[in-house]
Structure 1
């Protein structure tokens, strides 16, 4: 990391935080760029955002004073500086907001004294170079500036507009502001704030102090807050420019180092004709790296789309600078040298950031070649400064994936614009065609509700890869095909949010459960499903309060359930690879279920998997789990993913880009043990999966085998249950668990010997009574025996032996083993022309309440629920007597 000179950006940040730390403030690390407490914000766009709920009283902290250096991105929504970046002296998409905060502790006097002392004593700014603005009605603040700072009245400027009155929203905390300006001197054009020339560069705002002292209600009425608070903000880059004697933030040390890195890499003059492109790259490098480090990845919608815009804008300027291959990621080390000491997440996620940047630039290069060729053809037909027709811009977007903002940026260099209204009209027409085609496909009316919602609200933003709890805004409530304006306690609902940590069922992974809560409201979510492709719909019941569209709610996933689900999902990846290595590469996934209590995995496999093979697979999976390696996720094209060894599922539909999940130590052939295309949620490290146990293996269809398995707590429960059964078995066997198998084997062998002895005794008993148990009817000998609890398996052998003893006749044997009747009828060879054993045994079965039997003409067997031997024998006697 870079060493810090007294006025370097790193030193200024440290001095600010240390100063307020000495004044009793808790030094709080920067929050994520993805807001966790405000569903209306795309990114954290101000230093106070992480403390918003503290100011409103919804949250308490163990401290009443805080100071931060907060990462901020303004590149979407109300605060969108993207198009100005690189072309002005002050606009940035990423910057650091220094701030000190009081939550009902100190107020105006202390805030003004802290600011004045830090600026003039610790930072050494000349007092005569500073002036302050106050809200016109805030005489208290004006008096404090005179008293504490000694500012004369001509340097305390009263502003009557809302520029100096801050509001959190239409309702909520609000109060007057006081801004501190630095005067660059009369040689620089510009006038003081509030003057006609205030937009000049002479007077630069360096700090804003917000005095939060009122609560504003909708009609505009204000009531004093019981505990007034302080919120301040100092843009670090803008302040660094002042401290380093610059009037342009891009000339400060950190940004200048990044500019020189791109200039050196591309052998270009940092201050030449393409100066603006270097500045765009420097700013966008910071935005991109910090967003990726905070879990945002390039996507087609939401935060991921803004990140993609930022990255591709930088890459477009890199190509203007002469780049013909991926360069963006090569600038990352320069950023880490400048900022990695203050923000260790850059170092921690360096590999992911670089991989994401490189992959995005490779995809963008291919897209740019296609799109720019068409764009150049179209513009060559236009007159000077003529706008590009909207339908052409839409064709670039729809056919080539060339987004509108990229087209606008490319045309900006030619002094052209785009007919945006024509673009919007073409987009609307396409949506109408898609809707007509969809409605004609036979989908239900219930699904039509979600088609309309997709058209109105766009896709849901899924936050669940990095968070299991977030604030969100309710966009729509439905029940069946009915859209509701509210839902009360006891009602079942389907809820659409603007963003959510809940995973919608797909790819074999079940949907998340959890809660939506707000003051006086609780909704229990029992399922989450994807609707119309990329909308995440939460199904559940309102258990308390009233749910309405537009409400802000906290969406929280059932953490323990999600943890169990993602453990089973990650285990499935390892299982898949272990099966392929054990059985062969013909093994591919044919279906799966990843639930909290188990996993089910169907694979192509022509024969049963042996116990030895299953044991080897289970051991291989557990070995990978014990390695406890990080599970890595990358974004790339499906083609590149497959080229790098990723497993793609046959029949699955993949978009232009996919998430590639890697886990386990690799070898000479692969970078990781398992590499698969997957959009599900996974553990952070393989060790989080816990123990893995295969429960069963069986066939489900021709050539498809099903494996059921458990891991984590479910595997622990399975082991505990098995141990309990073993202990019970050992207790019954009067042995230890270790001795139980040998003891059981001995008992099994002993039982077999006894069964053989019993069978032999029964045979002797049956055949030994041949003379006394026979009767002759019409010259035919009938040997009828009621053998009681003799196994039906023994009857045929006994009948054959008795037939040999009697020489000529019919043998009828009946048993009643296990409470069911069984009968065998056998004929000696000389009687098979006169009688049919199959016909006789079927009549016997009918007598026993059965439904027939079968066999040969000389011997047949049947059964029935009623083992009535005498009834069978009487039937035979009547047959012979006829």
Structure 2
């Protein structure tokens, strides 16, 4: 396989990015190819491409070194002999590695220094019983010194110094081999932590030897080896796989000995390009240029710590590193999610997006646009990136869009709380070194409501000089999990099994004459009936008992009658309490389930004791039920409205619009239905309007128990396909009484009625729902759509939020175009997470798009005016200079920092005055930056245009400059420094 390529190939990968001049012939592509060629051509290795990054055996790690995992069967001698892998004796590759979790977590360090990464490549050569220490060390030395030309006097080697506890002796063999190449003071022993390599708790392992390189010449500093010095760095690890770590920690010697090496590709490239860090190489510079182009931020300057007070260069490093990580991970099948490794990816993405937006000023959607740069850089060696590019962009765009909805609000909330804390601390006049803690409840709010990972909050706190009450946050998070899992947990016994009734338990109840529970009172509101305790159950491990106390934990109570609604039909169960007559014995009912007619009231006994035969009182939380019922009734009305809008009220037998599921609780309603495309905004508006009309019409809600066969003939009836219904069945109708429908089932009048079979608890009149807001319509599977909606107070809150946003939008619409772009960006960010009607949200988006179109038109016209003025003025200048014989012209023309206008102006100047040297300085009032552009004759020019621009930029305090002869270009910071730039340009030109 040939990768090929030169430094020139790497440059300009992103359209519109300025060329970079790599100061050495060692482009990144050439470094990788040279390593692969060295082993394939000289050492008879087979190029064996890296497998996908995969989960490590250690679950605390995000992903493993991909190369090691694919060769593990070879090391252990268990590979299928029919597979091509079994014939492999030597291999070479570049391995994809992601490290962002567990003991090898580099995530929090990325950006703060110039050598940590979450994604990196490892160049590796492998032996599977073919060669061992002698060849591996000799070839490593030859490759580094003779192939790559590294200075031998800067190299150090380490070897394993042994471990008595594990019965491992020092690797004197490796040491003696190294002494042929290096003096003794540069061959150093280290312990298991540094020089015994293991892939996890179990698996192939062995001693290793590391090669370290000193970036600084002419010194002997063995004491800095393995001390995390940025100048004396490890570049190659040669592992001698000779053991297998088994369960329990025992080491078993392998029958064959192998070699697994890993050389840091990014580190080697920085050394060969004579750059101070990996980030200064052509691996990252194209990404930095693309980031600069997308954000309009000042160019990357490589600053660290206090020298980077705005964290701008740190943000460049974070964004560049994280886009590489996410591109590779998603291309290999991983996706951001809410748990496990997916959550680590989501944290990485949100960290990058936040830095891009808040530090670099990136517009929403910028991050996914960087994928193409990564793909173009890496597709030659990793072709899967190009194949999966579209998928990667889609996933990142969706994730970025979701986070951007809450980023601005979350930042504002954090700032408000942080500023109040800091003000209070300053008023107290406490110790200056005191760290003020950001409250746990606020960190939890940002996490649960705004989607901020806690480490992002910690990062923001660090920037403000605060800490975060992490212990308190974890406590709140644990309580969250307890609450969200309460119903499920309530069903479980101490042994971890659900508290359920099966054939054995129902037979036991029947054998003792326990009748099934009479649950008819669940339809009666605000009633506290007396009941008798018929059975007490502690799960299958214990079974039925005669008495339960508070020490028993979660138990189940079966009553002869109940007013509690048991979970079924998509409606959540009731909650409440069961007490004895005098209220001294109280069971908190967290879940209500029904099995074979027996209703289980599940929860902990909070006080006293309950015994079989006791008289108890059912006390349902009717306030909570009053929030559930309108959501359930409006689910029925929504079902009707969808059929009326999408099918014009008539089913065609295709199954379209059939109900596919529903969920109703005290906060919202959710309805899933068969439909093969997203609803249009017009369809959504019509559906929402119909439901609201039914509420305003104050329609009575009727229920009636009817013979199943008779009820099935009602022509407007909607039922769930495949569902089995009881006979007789409960019919629920919104608007019309049921008996007339049973008498005249084919009457067309019923078509305008919501009629369904349902055993849930409902309103008595639609007016009780008060309001309705259709919050979201989305696809959940192929051909299945989901609508989420709210009623009552939640819908009222949605209306108030919409009214508030409408007011902000009205204010924005009268702003001048110069201020409008930032306002639109802010409103777009704010609109995303708002829980308002989807119809209103779409209307607001359309209005914001119109404002954005207005801004674009204004900016386009402004650029056109600037161009015309610039070309007119440069024509005058060049004509006058040509007539007077002036060869050097330095002029200020304020057309912003538009490179296209600059090129056109310089072309015009050269056309009029071919022998002239021109330098134009142009202010950009919006950004506070100024551009410097130059041109000179290709032959016989007295000035180097690139150096000329550099002198002007440096004279103004520094900035970015470059170009390609005969033109130079640069950008400076601060319009007040333009005079200094002019002075420096004149001095350089000698005018």
What is the TM-score of this pair, normalised by structure 1?
0.51
> What are the residue-to-residue correspondences of 1:542-621 with 2, within 5 Å?
587-591=656-660
Residue 603 to residue 158, structure 1, CA distance change in 2 (3 Å): closer
Alignment of 1:356-755 (within 5 A): 356-383=395-422, 385-438=435-488, 443=491, 449=497, 587-591=656-660, 639=776, 641=778, 648-649=785-786
Residue of 194, 197, 211 corresponding to 1:180: 211
In 2, distance between residues paired with 1:416 and 1:135?
A: 42
CA gap of 1:30–1:161, structure 2 versus 1, over 3 A, is closer
Could you say which residue in structure 2 is the equivalent of 1:165? Answer: 196
Distance 2:47 2:775 in 1: 44
2:135 is aligned to 110
* Greater Rg by CA: 1
How well do the aligned residues superpose, as a CA RMSD in angstroms?
4.1
Structure 2 CA distance for partners of 1:95 and 1:638, relative to 1, 3 Å: farther
Residues 94-117 of structure 1 show CA distances to partners (whole Å, capped at 9, x for unaligned) of: 011111111222110111122112
| 1:17 counterpart (36, 46, 53) | 36
Q: Does 1:145 align with 2:164?
A: no
Alpha carbons of structure 1 residues 324 and 79: separation in structure 2 relative to 1, 3 Å = same
- Structure 2 counterpart of 1:313: 351
State the distance in 2 between where 1:146 and 1:451 align.
Answer: 69
TM alignment of 1:174-323, pairs within 5 A: 174-186=205-217, 191-192=221-222, 198-216=227-245, 222=251, 224-271=253-300, 273=308, 274-319=312-357, 320-323=359-362
Aligned to 1:50: 70
2:284 alignment partner, SS class: helix
**Partners of 2:777 and 2:32 in 1: CA distance:** 42
Deviations 1:664-705 (A, max 9, x none): xxxxxxxxxxxxxxxxxxxxxxxxxxxxxxxxxxxxxxxxxx
Which of 51, 58, 68 in structure 2 is aligned with 1:31?
A: 51
Contact 2:61 2:99 in 1 (8 A): no
Unaligned stretches of 5+ residues in structure 2: 8-24, 162-169, 302-307, 426-434, 501-538, 543-645, 662-672, 677-713, 718-773, 791-831, 834-991
For residues 67 and 273 of structure 2, the distance between their equivalents in structure 1, rounded to whole angstroms, comes to 23
User: Hey, what's the Cα distance between the residues in 1 that align with 2:337 and 2:499?
Assistant: 21
What is the rounded CA distance, in whole Å, between the counterparts of 1:337 and 1:330 in structure 2? 12
SS at match of 1:387: strand
Structure 1 residue 172 displacement after superposition: 4.5
Show structure 1 runs of 5+ residues with no match: 453-479, 484-576, 593-600, 609-636, 658-882
How does the TM-score come out when normalised to structure 2? 0.45
1:330 to 357, 366, 369: 369
Q: Could you tell me whether the CA contact under 8 Å between 1:46 and 1:97 is conserved in 2? A: no
Pick one of 72, 78, 81 that aligns with 2:97: 72
SS at match of 1:246: coil
Deviations 1:272-310 (A, max 9, x none): 541110110000010111111111222111222111111
Mapped to 2, the partners of 1:603 and 1:268 lie a distance apart of 45
Distance in 1 (CA, whole Å) between partners of 2:289 and 2:401 is 23
Q: Deviations over 1:120-164 (max 9, x none)?
A: 2221222222221112322211221233xx322222222245311
Change (3 A) 1:303 1:173: closer
Deviation at 1:394, TM superposition (A): 1.0
Separation (CA, whole Å) in 2 of partners of 1:588 and 1:338: 47
- Name the SS of the counterpart of 1:87 in structure 2: coil
How far residue 331 of structure 1 moved from its aligned partner, in angstroms, is 1.8
Number of aligned pairs?
Answer: 495
1:602 offset after TM fit, Å? 8.6
The answer for the alignment partner of 2:617 in structure 1 is none
Residue 168 to residue 356, structure 1, CA distance change in 2 (3 Å): closer
**Could you say if the C-alpha distance between residues 436 and 299 of structure 1 is closer, same or farther in structure 2, counting changes exceeding 3 Å?**
closer
- Residues 93 and 287 in structure 1, CA contact (< 8 A), matched pair in contact too: yes
Whether the aligned pair in 1 keeps the contact of 2:778 and 2:786 (CA below 8 Å) is no
Contact 2:110 2:117 in 1 (8 A): yes
Residues 577-586 or 135-144, more deviating: 577-586
What is the CA distance between 1:82 and its match in structure 2? Answer: 0.6
SS at match of 2:30: helix
Which residue number in structure 1 is paired with residue 526 of structure 2?
A: none
Hey, what's the Cα distance between the residues in 2 that align with 1:141 and 1:638?
A: 67
Looking at structure 2, the residues matched to 270 and 340 of structure 1 have their Cα atoms a distance apart, in angstroms, of: 26
Q: 2: CA distance between counterparts of 1:482 and 1:46?
A: 45
Q: Cα–Cα, structure 1 residues 586 and 369, in superposed 2: closer, same or farther, change >3 Å?
A: farther
